[in-house]
Structure 1
């Protein structure tokens, strides 16, 4: 990302072909989008790991009552976190373009 930004700046200083700058801008958009996907995946991974740590704690302490009480919620959270590990944002073209034009992300969980 840094090299791309540096190259675009140098490209502008040298007054090169505008069409190539458009290609560099397109590349920067794609790189920003994939960076966003990685950030979202990391956030979802952390949620899943937190839930699994909670289950581990219940099992480690043999807290049958608490585990039974929270079982449905825990199962739902595990399913949801696992499902969200690959965010839908990486396939949503409208999100990608709007987000990198300074728009507000309204559908992040």
Structure 2
């Protein structure tokens, strides 16, 4: 089943699985559109832009404060990330930094409920 994907649906209250042929270009467009979801009209923010901001914050931080800046990123952009259901892992992948830092961004997002940045 090389060119088939599985689609699950609810049919009469029962979950059913169907195998259907797919076009790789079509699936790429779906994934691309998912990762480029827009946020609020003119202030468009997507996963790639968040990744760029994270990359800048990480690379401009002094050596001892890089992880702190990752936490700060999570705090500053927690509302956008949570409101739009953005994947933290996708943001970190787009930033180009090590994927293991997704845990640090998640910590910042959780901290946002309790703290506010000074700047």
Structure-1-length-normalised TM-score:
0.29
More strand as a share of residues: 2
Q: Which has the higher contact order (CA 8 A, sep 6+)?
A: 1
Structure-2-length-normalised TM-score:
0.27
* Higher Rg of the two aligned structures: 1
More helix as a share of residues: 1
